[in-house]
Amino acid sequence: MKDSEKVTCGAQARPSASQKLMVWLILFMCVTYIVYSLKLVSTPTSTTCSHAPFSVQRLSAPNGTAKRERKTELRHVVFGIAASAKLWEQRKNYIKIWYKEKEMRGVVWLDGRVKSEAKEGLPRVMISSDTSNFAYRNKQGHRSAIRISRIVSETVRLGLKDVRWLVMGDDDTVFVTENLVRVLNKYDHRGMYYIGSLSESHLQNIFFSYGMAYGGGGFAISYPLAKALEKMQDRCIQRYPALYGSDDRMQACMAELGVPLTKELGFHQYDVYGNLLGLLGSHPVTPLVSLHHLDLVEPIFPNMSRVESLQRLTIPMKLDSASLIQQSICYDTKRKWTISVSWGFAIQIFRGIFSPREIEMPSRTFLNWYKRADYTAYAFNTRPVTRNPCQKPFVFYFSKAKLNSTLQQTVTEYERHRVSHPECRWKMADPSVLDKVVVYKKPDPHLWDRAPRRNCCRVMKSNKKGRVEIDVGVCRDGEVTEP
């Protein structure tokens, strides 16, 4: 053994014949071992190893996607609406816009009695339980935040059957319920999910949290999570008396439960002032789920009341909810115009050719929540409304719609918003010759079952004076929006 040790370790030693034999023996054994083990590894790889991860998956998720339960429908959702007796008479008109008594379940939680009118088609009204023994120590806020945060627990305690999701909203939140269901169907309701979106204001998100669902935009809690929350929420709330609102209290409890926010960009808190055209004209490629702060922003259609303009939006919503306010961008190459369609809401026509990466950015028609803050204080990219007076967009607002049942195609009309435009000396076709834009589009209920992609639009050949006709639909093979 000592000799062999010398052979392997010491290169200087002169090997004897027996030592040489020993080296060959060891080498032979090594080669045999390597060949044998290689064989062991290589042959079974193709059979066992490549399949191993799948068999593990099957074991751990016996009821995986293949055997998923039936799709979530509106009847599986319970809405919990935060309201106050003082504003009820006015705010209930927003709820009437979207709530359908026969298809939905919901409870409006109030802080006092109101005249209840059963025939109005509103959700049932309940009075929240007393929270005066909870501490509230925020100087800016109001202690109603505690009552509103507890709506989740109080709704769970009603013991409703066959509930998959609790969806919270304010009395001035308007939901596009078909799109809400589309979004919820992306998630397994048997897991714990907290789904919503952030504020438009970077400062708000810094001040509250980038991990919080803003309450006014609405948020969804899967039922198992709601039940887990119910067990601890009252204790949890007592631990955060200094927080401002109901949604930061909710997030504090979610953090204790260890459940992060799942962000869905179709929920809109709309912490802005002014005109929503910039935001609704360049919506992210995701279904429109909610609108909020409708009392604070201008009516979404000009020359109409807030409630009337939301009622108008329900016309295209009924025809093709998945496509509501979805953007498509195309060019009138002859007249050198850029056309941005926000289906069912507005068309903007710009003189000149803008790239899609510019036009898909919201234009700053709105003002910051913090009035002294500028565009650097938004939580997303924006662009100025116009960089040159000639490029101020001509806006056409949705006016009417119909379904051509023979062609299975929606026909939506948009009328020009007649406002003054700065003088423009460009030798270029003037969009003010137009009165109307007509858009043809097939309803697309399965839009969100596919990978997200903007629709394509095409300017149609038309000899009708004063109007542009546009075809909107799924992009064809090889079709790209090329400026």
Q: Applying CB under 6 A, which residues contact ligand NAG?
A: 62-63, 303, 404, 406-407, 418
Alpha-carbon distance of 273 to 310, in angstroms, equals 17
| HSE-CB of 87 using CA atoms within 13 angstroms | 13
Reduced to 3 states (helix: H, G, I; strand: E, B; else coil), residue 21 is helix
Reduced to 3 states (helix: H, G, I; strand: E, B; else coil), residue 268 is coil
Distance of CA 87 to the CA centre of its chain: 28
Torsion of CA 290, 296, 301, 306, to 10 degrees: 90
SS3 content of the chain, % helix, strand, coil (to 5): 35, 20, 45
Which of 325, 327, 332 shows the shortest CA–CA distance to 358?
Answer: 327
Torsion of CA 228, 231, 232, 237, to 10 degrees: 110
Alpha-carbon distance of 312 to 319, in angstroms, equals 12
N-to-C CA span, the chain: 81
Residue 120 CB neighbour total at 10 angstroms: 13
Reduced to 3 states (helix: H, G, I; strand: E, B; else coil), residue 272 is strand
Alpha-carbon distance of 147 to 138, in angstroms, equals 15
Question: 339-378 in b/e burial notation, b at 16+ Cβ within 10 A?
Answer: bbbbbbbbbbbbbeebebebbbbbbbbbebbeeeeeeebb
* Residue type at position 37: S
Alpha-carbon distance of 284 to 293, in angstroms, equals 19
Q: Are 72 and 184 in contact (CB under 8 A)?
A: yes
Residue 405 CB neighbour total at 10 angstroms: 7
Distance of CA 367 to the CA centre of its chain: 22
**DSSP output for 56-92:** HHHHH-TT-GGGPPSPP-GGGEEEEEE--TTTHHHHH
Question: 63-75 in b/e burial notation, b at 16+ Cβ within 10 A?
Answer: eeeeeeeeebeee
Distance of CA 97 to the CA centre of its chain: 21
β-strand pairing of 467-473 with 436-441: parallel
